[in-house]
A and B are shown apart, each in its own frame.
Chain A
């Protein structure tokens, strides 16, 4: 069973809204934005469930609306973050379309890891060539995107498959491999 265009649109809207709400829920934890990366979760999920173009839109609109409404992220970091999240959403959706191993866990983890790497590489290139020309190094890239953010990476890798399963069990999204059940 495939999802309709309207349902994909509304689920994308829900993910964009969660991009604003989740950082507020994580607000009690100091530096939660850079450490736990709560905004990445709905964008990755949107790409997985609704596909690349919807993930791309979620990645662009989520941080933009959040910045306008809650000032998280600050305007100075917004363009870089929009590019990073847009790539996450787009690549996750494309990978979920391309990868069909027959096992949902394998599909989810392959798509997640590739999109997390792609987003970080593109964001690093954007920072080096556009946003922080001359003052950006590989050490700063690795420090900012992998060392500081490792708790967020672990949370995403642990939680996203759980959320996808929970949504499938609640029949809110179509089951990817119905024969396994």
Chain B
């Protein structure tokens, strides 16, 4: 189970690793918007060039940059075929290559399928670069900075950020505990490895109550410790707040480049 958690953030000292989390997240959103507005071959070529540059700046091997994309070949193929055969514009004037009942293999459908596959593929690549170069706590801090204006409508942003960072600390602990409980249940005869789906489903259900009890016990201990040390409602005095990295010139340049990239793609 813990294998899933391994290899998300890869520590390093590349250009992207050293960038401010907020700048990276904002740049990611701008690039996301640029990818979603692209619908031409030169546009996709530009995105491919930017994604290659991002991979180079993160100093990651191409296999790491692609991440799970390689394992989703079948998903992309299905996505393309669904669009190629069921795209409705094919019926309404586009060139239909083959038709049978409700199934129409059309040129507009194939183009639409290619757009969808390329957009998702590039989004996954950029998402991979962001996640592998940014520690989860830095992402939380970036989110806290970005949601700071919500304070105007009385959303307690500092508390939200505290909850998110505590949740991030809990994840590996709970994963380990769930693993232990799983082993204990296996020793009592649970059939997690059974080939029958029913047995596997039935064996997972008795895991839940012990997992919740142990998680809530840990949370209760932490809450008691925090209260004992004076961590109170709206009087945090900066306690528990993660340190923010200062914004440097390259961070601003990264954000400005992503804005420019979006404007170029949107104007195309």
Nearest-neighbour CB distance to chain B for A157, whole angstroms, equals 13
Q: Which residues of B5-44 have CB atoms within 8 Å of chain A's CB atoms?
A: 5, 8
A28 CB contact (under 8 Å) in B88, B167, B173, B204: B204
Chain A interface mostly: helix
CB of B4 within 8 A of chain A?
Answer: yes
Give chain B's interface residue range (CB within 8 Å of chain A). 35 or more
Other 6 A-B pairs with CB < 8 A, given A10-B220, A24-B5, A61-B164: A4-B223, A6-B223, A7-B227, A17-B215, A21-B178, A25-B211
**Within 8 Å CB of B120, what residues of A?**
76
Q: Is A45 on the interface with B (CB-CB < 8 A)?
A: yes
Interface residues of B in 80-118 (CB under 8 A from A): 88
Q: Please tell me if the beta carbons of A21 and B213 are within 8 angstroms of each other in the complex.
A: no
Contact of B167 among A13, A45, A75, A166 (CB under 8 A): A13
1/0 per residue, CB under 8 A from A, across B210-243: the answer is 0111011111101100110001110000000000
Cross-chain pairs A/B with CB under 8 angstroms, 27 sampled = A4-B227, A4-B233, A6-B232, A10-B166, A11-B219, A13-B163, A13-B166, A14-B218, A20-B171, A22-B208, A25-B1, A25-B204, A26-B204, A27-B1, A28-B192, A32-B201, A41-B208, A57-B163, A69-B8, A69-B171, A134-B88, A159-B208, A166-B209, A167-B213, A167-B216, A170-B213, A173-B216
Per-residue contact bits, chain B 154-178, to A (CB 8 Å; 1 contact, 0 not): 0000011011101110110111001
B127 at the interface (CB under 8 A from A): yes
Chain A interface residue count, CB cutoff 8 Å, equals: 48
User: Nearest Cβ in chain B — how far from A67, in angstroms?
Assistant: 9
CB distance from A20 to the nearest CB of B (A): 5
Neighbouring B residues of A132 by C-beta, 8 Å: none
The reply on A9 being an interface residue by CB < 8 A is: yes
A68 to B233, CA, bound (A): 29
**Interface positions of B (Cβ within 8 A of A):** 1, 4-5, 8, 68, 88, 120, 123-124, 127, 131, 136, 139, 159-160, 162-164, 166-168, 170-171, 173-175, 178, 182, 192-193, 197, 200-201, 204-205, 207-209, 211-213, 215-220, 222-223, 226-227, 231-233
The docked-state distance in angstroms from the alpha carbon of A26 to that of B211 is 12
For B204, list chain A residues within 8 Å (CB). 25-26, 28-29, 32, 36
Contact of A147 with B by CB under 8 A? no
Q: Least Cβ distance of A108 to chain B in Å?
A: 15
Question: Which chain B residue shows the least CB distance to A36?
Answer: B201
Asked whether B182 lies within 8 Å of A14 as measured between CB atoms, the reply is no
Do residues B178 and A25 form an inter-chain contact, with CB atoms below 8 A?
yes
Report if A166-B163 is in contact (Cβ < 8 Å); known contacts: A18-B174, A29-B200.
no
Q: Which residues of A from 19 to 65 have beta carbons under 8 Å from B? A: 20-22, 24-30, 32, 36, 41-42, 45, 57, 61, 65
Tell whether, in the assembled complex, residue B174 and residue A21 are in contact, meaning their CB atoms are under 8 Å apart. yes
Interface: A137 (CB within 8 A) = no
In the complex, A163 has a CB within 8 A of chain B: yes
Q: Does A5 contact B (CB under 8 A)?
A: yes
For A5, the chain B residues whose CB sits under 8 A away are 232-233
On chain B, the residues within 8 Å of A144 by CB distance are: none
Residues of chain B contacted by A17 (CB below 8 angstroms)? 167-168, 170-171, 173-174, 215
| B residues near A167, Cβ cutoff 8 Å | 212-213, 216
Return B132 CB to nearest CB of chain A, in Å: 11
Structural contact, A9 and B159, CB atoms closer than 8 A: yes
Confirm or deny: A140 has a beta carbon within 8 angstroms of a beta carbon on chain B: no
Chain A residues closer than 8 Å to B192, beta-carbon distance: 28
- Chain A residues within 8 Å of B182, by CB: 25
**Residue A71 CB within 8 A of the other chain:** yes
Q: Which of A14, A162, A163 counts the most B-chain CB atoms under 10 A from its CB?
A: A14
B205→A14 contact, CB < 8 A: no
Contact of A9 among B1, B163, B168, B211 (CB under 8 A): B163
- Residues A9 and B171 in contact in the complex (CB < 8 Å), given A24-B178, A29-B201, A69-B136: no
